[in-house]
């Protein structure tokens, strides 16, 4: 069964430095390695889904610069429909400055959104056909929130389109956007920031998920990093899905690998629980390699999980 996805959101170039530890304020460290890569939460999720076999269209905006042209070429190389990849003539392409701890694989990220923040609701409406013919529409919060809201409004103008919101980076979410969201996927830190509640233990994570449900979202998935994920669906009992224990090389993009693979699996007809279990396993594979999209497995590398 073909999975048809549309991503409305961000595209960045990642500038990644590996360091002995995440630097403290005012501290200068000498890193062990530097690399660039393609990123942006939206782009990452789209590429992950495409690598598994989904038909993916992206609605995104780039700067008219080297980073923008190379990002467009990367989308095409991944087999992604670039009909709605737009360019801003004045703003630079978005970038992410990433420090990765050599010892733990954990990271710290600063995003300069650039052209991502010039995407408009009017431009989203021009992509209505791609949005309304998708099975799943994925959005994040790395573009103006009114853009994400318009994408979900357009999606809900057609029958059967499922909306997934990855509320990252965490920000105040309008009530209308929550009402248009079918599945909300924050990580444990974002869930805590959104609700003001602790998320250190599973009971605390569950309580935060229930609070998010009270805001109008039926299904909440909270990703828990190396621990796995928690499913809270309607009034059903919360379900914890553990992740395989591995020694992470680089956790950058693991959450996006989860969202992209989950969207693909769900659109393929798998159940909610099954999709989460397999997405956790695919995301775990991604932390065993360095980089963001470069760490995402191809379909044949995870064939036994599909």
Per-residue pLDDT of 156-187, as tens digits, reads 999 899 999 999 999 999 999 999 999 999 99
> pLDDT of 176-224, one tens digit each?
999 999 999 999 999 999 999 999 999 999 999 999 999 999 999 999 9
Summarize pLDDT for 20-50 with one digit per residue, the tens.
Answer: 999 999 999 999 999 899 999 999 999 999 9
- Residue 1: the pLDDT is 63
Please report the pLDDT score of residue 276 as a whole number.
97
Q: Is 256 a catalytic residue?
A: yes
Write out pLDDT tens, residues 231-285.
999 999 999 999 888 887 877 789 999 999 999 999 999 999 999 999 999 999 9
Which option is the CATH number for 4-10+40-92+116-305: 3.40.1190.20, 3.30.43.10, 3.40.50.620, 3.60.15.10?
Answer: 3.40.1190.20
Question: What does pTM read for this prediction?
Answer: 0.92
Cα–Cα distance measured from residue 210 to residue 181, given in angstroms and rounded to the nearest whole number: 15
Residue among 250, 256, 274, 300 flagged as catalytic: 256
- The pLDDT of residue 244 is 84
Answer yes or no: are the C-beta atoms of 241 and 230 closer than 8 Å: yes
């Amino acid at each position: 069964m073909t999975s048809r996805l549309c991503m409305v959101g961000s595209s960045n170039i990642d500038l990644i430095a590996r360091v002995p530890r995440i630097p403290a304020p005012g501290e200068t460290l000498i890193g062990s390695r530097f690399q660039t890569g393609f990123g942006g939460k939206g782009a990452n999720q789209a590429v992950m889904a495409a690598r598994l076999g989904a038909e993916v269209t992206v609605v995104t905006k780039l700067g008219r610069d080297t980073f923008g042209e190379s990002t467009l070429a990367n989308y095409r190389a991944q087999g992604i429909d670039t009909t709605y990849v737009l360019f801003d003539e004045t703003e630079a392409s978005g970038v992410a400055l990433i420090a990765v701890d050599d010892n733990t694989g954990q990271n710290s990220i600063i995003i300069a959104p650039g052209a991502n923040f010039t995407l408009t609701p009017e431009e989203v409406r021009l992509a209505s056909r791609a949005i309304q013919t998708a099975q799943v529409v994925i959005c994040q919060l790395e573009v103006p929130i009114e853009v994400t809201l318009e994408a979900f409004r357009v999606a809900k103008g057609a029958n059967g389109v499922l909306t997934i919101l990855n509320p990252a980076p965490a920000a105040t979410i309008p009530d209308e956007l929550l009402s248009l969201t079918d599945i909300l996927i924050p990580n444990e830190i974002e869930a805590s920031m959104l609700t003001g509640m602790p998320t250190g233990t599973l009971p605390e994570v569950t309580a935060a998920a229930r609070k998010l449900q009270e805001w109008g979202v039926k299904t909440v998935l909270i990703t828990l990093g190396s621990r796995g994920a928690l499913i809270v669906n309607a009034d059903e009992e919360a379900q914890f899905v553990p992740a395989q224990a591995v020694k992470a090389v680089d956790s950058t993009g693991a959450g996006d690998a989860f969202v992209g693979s989950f969207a693909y699996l769900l659109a393929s007809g798998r159940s909610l629980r099954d999709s989460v279990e397999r997405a956790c396993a695919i995301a775990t594979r991604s932390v065993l390699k360095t980089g963001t999209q470069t760490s995402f497995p191809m379909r044949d590398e995870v064939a036994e999980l599909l």
